Amino acid sequence: MAETTTAKIFDYPRNAWYVAAWDHEVTRTPLARTIAGRPLALFRTEDGAPVALADACWHRLAPLSMGKVIGDELQCPYHGIRYDRTGRCTAMPAQETINPSAMVPSFPIVDRYRYVWVWVGDAALADPSTIPDMHQMTSPEWTGDGELIHAECNYQLVVDNLMDLTHEEFVHTSSIGQDALSESEFVTSHTDTTVTVERWMIDIEAPPFWLKNMRDKFPGFSGRVDRWQIIHFEAPSTICLDVGVAATGTGAPEGDRSAGVNGYVMNTITPETDRTSHYFWSFQRNYRLDSQFITTQLRNGVHGVFSEDEMMLQAQQAAIDANPDYEFYSLNIDAGGMWVRRLLERMLEAEGRMAVPAAVGS
Ligand code: FES
Ligand SMILES: [Fe+2]
């Protein structure tokens, strides 16, 4: 691929489902969170339904997230106006009539895959059937757990990080990095809403993280492995990594993974501002489902790996901001990430917003 320049601070679509929180974070105590530039107050009604209201009172803009949930209503912390789940005012202090214009915006919100998804764009377009597929989060065939990282960078930098995993060789040397990553070929494909990058490493040493997982499933395992990384991107910013290793020569590339271990790293990145993101991840596995010990060990292990990414991404964003006149260039390894940008540009164009020009030949 020829060298190309591309946008560094990439705008985010608004007509999209974004994860606002883990399901357990949204409770009867309001939660303040900014999603795609929109400050929200999130809470649950008495029957457990999630609610997202704009986090500014109609009266004097006090943050509703500092208020109190009473029944199914949110009470402003300043002068006590109450709002129902649609954002309509139901009670005003010291007056009997309610000003009919008293409303705050409410936003479509759905519980799915252990996450709470919100739509801050045009509500008429919010169709829950378009929520990205993350079924390994709740399928009985998988188990696992994860975390939320507050990433100090534009969401696109996190997406780039996950669309090209050759960085493991340099950033994650003690766990999953190995030379075979950048030495192996990969295949990129796409549809209108998805991008897939598939890479196989045949007959290699298992790196420490995967050797440990093999021994969790096959005690005493030793020998060489076939390793796979299949990156599934779904617009605008969900990336599920199908990753694993199997004893070499047992047919994993042809589809028989029974002599191996398989994980799905479920990542979804929500823009907060131009330069900050909510990065939700979970490591799901389909073996030893009963072992909370392994679940906790894996979560802690991946936490360590992703802390290495977090430091790199924060440093990268700082360097971008400190060098505004410098460009980005792209290499062969960025093929998946470049497709992602094309899909996102189309989404931005469909919203009538100019995408920052990308892929300008140099
Ligand atoms: S600012 Fe909310 S009631 Fe006054
Ligand atoms: Fe990484």
pLDDT tens digit sequence for 246-299: 999 999 999 999 999 999 999 999 999 999 999 999 999 999 999 999 999 999
- The model's pLDDT over 292-326, given as tens digits with 9 standing for 90+, comes to 999 999 999 999 999 999 999 999 999 999 999 99
Q: Would the pLDDT of 328 be above 50?
A: yes
The ligand whose atoms approach the alpha carbon of 151 most closely is 2
Q: Would the pLDDT of 224 be above 90?
A: yes
Pocket test for ligand 1, best of 53, 55, 57 (most atoms within 8 A of CB): 57
Mean pLDDT of 162-190: 89
Mean pLDDT of 210-225: 96
- Show the ligand 1 pocket: residues with CB < 6 angstroms: 57, 59-60, 62, 76, 78-81
Q: Would the pLDDT of 168 be above 60?
A: yes
Q: What is the pLDDT of residue 235?
A: 97
Distance CA 243, CA 201 (A): 11
Q: What is the pLDDT of residue 180?
A: 83
Mean pLDDT of 125-135: 98
Mean pLDDT of 345-352: 94
Pocket test for ligand 1, best of 55, 78, 98 (most atoms within 8 A of CB): 78
Q: Would the pLDDT of 362 be above 80?
A: no
Q: Would the pLDDT of 94 be above 90?
A: no
Q: What is the pLDDT of residue 360?
A: 40
Atom of ligand 1 nearest to the CA of 58: 2
Confidence of residue 361 (pLDDT cuts 50, 70, 90): very low
Adjacent-strand bridge partners of 143: 285
Q: What is the pLDDT of residue 5?
A: 59
Q: Which residue has the higher pLDDT, 195 or 327?
A: 195
Q: How far is the CA of 57 from the centre of ligand 1 (A)?
A: 6
Task: Specify the pTM.
Answer: 0.94
Name the residue with the closest Cα to ligand 1, atom 1: 60
**Residues contacting residue 292 through CB under 8 Å, at least 6 positions apart:** none
Are 82 and 57 contacting, i.e. CB atoms less than 8 angstroms apart? no
The ligand whose atoms approach the alpha carbon of 76 most closely is 1
Q: How far is the CA of 138 from the centre of ligand 2 (A)?
A: 24
The ligand whose atoms approach the alpha carbon of 67 most closely is 1
Q: What is the pLDDT of residue 148?
A: 98
Report the mean per-residue pLDDT for the chain: 94
Q: Would the pLDDT of 97 be above 80?
A: yes
Long-range CB contacts for residues 203-208, cutoff 8 Å, separation at least 24: 203/248, 203/249, 204/178, 204/180, 204/248, 205/178, 206/245, 207/175, 207/176, 207/177, 207/178, 208/174, 208/175, 208/176
Q: In the chain, what percentage of residues exceed pLDDT 70?
A: 96
Q: Would the pLDDT of 4 be above 80?
A: no
